[in-house]
Amino acid sequence: MRVLVSGYHGMGNLGDEAVLAAFVQHLKGIDPGATCVALSGEPTETSAAYGIEAVPRASLGAIIRQVRRADIVVSGGGSLLQDVTGRKSVPYYLGIIILACMMKRPVSIYAQGLGPLNHAFSRWLVKRILSRTSVITVRDEGSARLLHELGVLKPEPVVVADPAFALTPRKPDESITVRGPNTVMFCFRPWPGTCDREAEYAECIDRAVLELGITPVFLAFHPHQDVEISLRIAERCTAGGKKPAVIPCDMPPQEALGLISRAEMVVGMRLHSLIFAATTGVPAVAIDYDPKIRAHCRLIAEPHIVEAGAPADELYAAIASAWASRNETKARLRRIMPQVRERAEAGARIALAPIVDEPWEANGGCDTREGKDFGRASVLGSPVDCISMDDAVAFLMERAASGVGAHVVTINPEMTLAATHDSELADVISKADLVVPDGVGVVRGLRILGYEPPGRVPGIELAIGLMRSAARCGMPFFLVGAEPGVADAAAERMARDMPGLKVAGTFHGYFREAEEEDVLSRIQDADPSFVLVGMGGGKQEKWIVKARKSAPSAVWIGVGGSFDVMSGNVKRAPVAFQKLGLEWFYRLITEPRRAKRMTALPAFVFAVLGEAFRKRRRS
């Protein structure tokens, strides 16, 4: 197997070197005898660093020869297809893909972060050329969404994770020492507006030294660009008696990873400084200057993120908050990072799938449900997951944190019966990522059919359980449904009861068809981790299917009339009624208008008994 890799390699950027190092590591794991050739700005250095072949990235003749000899061309990873840092990047990388297509070589887009694409010509080029590739993997949901907006539907983009998440740290050179307790590593980069704020950054660092007792160290991830701004900020720092050290990261990525593992915290603008921190379990504060920073924070559920133009007080507040909660952050990273690493490793397998006889799932093997046996049962043809409340909350927190997202159906007897004669609803339920037994009738029906569900998972309790968990790590919610004002009241009451809960937006459920695009636009702009939809069983499930495109990485849950209860407008049944499975009876007494709907309960019971009888006869 001969693989040609096209990327921003040999250009002095540690992040791009980390991507190449990870790809070589994964390639050797898949095929130890494979030959890897990289297009590089410094071919000799690249070849020596990774034990691979390398040719000049600016030599058209060398590129043509290597494309002709390759079995596959891999483009990525990193932010190659964007036109913010220059307009030559998009034509250069797409030009190599065109060459490969002309020579009939398969092309894989590997763990790329696409965009921003501000120019119409760039967007047109990306749409036309990426549609001719064999496989597309991207490192975040925003990139997948951009491809869909551009009209790149085939091959279907697969969301993985940045390859650097799977790198193994190595002990750095002994000449590089980090002295002092409570080391916090700062990783700045030049960007419009940052040079004017060097004094503010220094003031913020001095304050952290005096009030938090940190020892600051500067890391220059792209030495040619970052050393100068790091030195200028360090020169302005006065607290602590001596100037902070500035370390140029002109070292192998694995050693830089080992260096960051020594930190107590990282404050970073460079994406891979944040990735390295997460990989080694080090808490971080992200300075947001690009969509890829926000995408990273969503992936690992990182709440400490500050805009690049924020005042010094705001940056300090984020640092102080992250410092105070660093033990909780370390525990969160220990929980979620194994899954993120799996997604990073999956990227290489998928990229090489066109020439490797190894099947891979359309989700890239990244479905967090895989390997979790919840015991999927069936009632009247509808699937139901036999899962406990705690397991459901943990599973959905993982889906939200990883950016995979999910559609959750909270099924009750009425919805189960409706699905027997509504093929659209039946299809929606069958394709849901999780179907939990909301009603006691469903739990009893499962037991009649011989299943052993742990118990009910009511939609309102599931939503509140997720709110409590999400409040601890700053993952936001969006509420859609109920009458005007009810979702607002529910959000206000829940936020009051749960300190730290973030509700990014609300909208009532009585919007007209002409208003739907505005609703979806608000959800997309809010970028929530969870979307709760309360429109009534059946209707809300169908709406979620078409609305998920606005926030594909979020967990969407149909919660029926939960907002009325959350807001305090409707009183929930007393605990005694809930434990006896008589919540339906309490609601019938307090809301007599529901009597017609309650006829679904005996109809459901008879239908389940009939199914159980037929099942026993067959056995």
Better-scored residue on pLDDT, 235 or 499:
235
Per-domain residue ranges for the chain? 2-166, 183-279+284-324, 376-566
Asked whether this chain's domains 2-166 and 183-279+284-324 adopt the same fold, the reply is: yes
Judge whether residue 86 has pLDDT over 60.
Answer: yes
Number of residues that make up the chain: 619
Judge whether residue 254 has pLDDT over 70.
Answer: yes
d(CA 340, CA 160) in angstroms, rounded, equals 8
Mean pLDDT of 483-511: 94
Q: Record the tokens describing residue 428, joined without a space.
A: 């929606």
The mean pLDDT of the chain is 88
Q: pTM for the complete prediction? A: 0.63
User: Which residue type occupies 270?
Assistant: R
Bond prior to 499 in cis (omega within 30° of 0): no
The Cα-based distances of 217 to 85, 234, 500, 531 in angstroms read: 27, 9, 31, 40
Spatial neighbors of 343 by CB under 8 A, at least 6 apart, are: 159, 160, 161, 165, 364, 366, 402
The Cα-based distances of 569 to 198, 461, 495 in angstroms read: 52, 17, 16
Q: Which CATH code fits 2-166?
A: 3.40.50.2000
Nearest to 271 by CA among 191, 326, 192: 191
DSSP structure string for 212-226? H--EEEEEESSHHHH
In this structure, are strands 555-558 and 376-379 parallel, antiparallel, or unpaired? unpaired
Query: Is 183-279+284-324 a domain of CATH 3.40.50.2000?
Result: yes
The answer to which of 58-62, 344-348, 436-440, 570-574 has the lowest mean pLDDT is: 570-574
Bond prior to 116 in cis (omega within 30° of 0): yes
Instruction: Identify the band that residue 373 occupies on the pLDDT scale cut at 50, 70 and 90.
Output: very low
Q: Could you tell me the fold of the domain covering 376-566? A: Rossmann fold (3.40.50)
Judge whether residue 559 has pLDDT over 90.
Answer: yes
Confidence (pLDDT) at 573? 62
Judge whether residue 48 has pLDDT over 90.
Answer: yes
Instruction: Identify the band that residue 369 occupies on the pLDDT scale cut at 50, 70 and 90.
Output: very low
Confidence (pLDDT) at 366? 35
Contact 339, 159 (CB under 8 A): no
Confidence (pLDDT) at 594? 54
Judge whether residue 591 has pLDDT over 70.
Answer: no
Better-scored residue on pLDDT, 535 or 362:
535
The 10s digit of each residue's pLDDT in 181-196 is: 799 999 999 988 766 7
The answer to which of 170-179, 253-262, 333-342, 407-416 has the lowest mean pLDDT is: 170-179
Confidence (pLDDT) at 587? 58
Confidence (pLDDT) at 398? 81
The answer to which of 127-131, 368-372, 406-410 has the lowest mean pLDDT is: 368-372
Judge whether residue 496 has pLDDT over 80.
Answer: yes
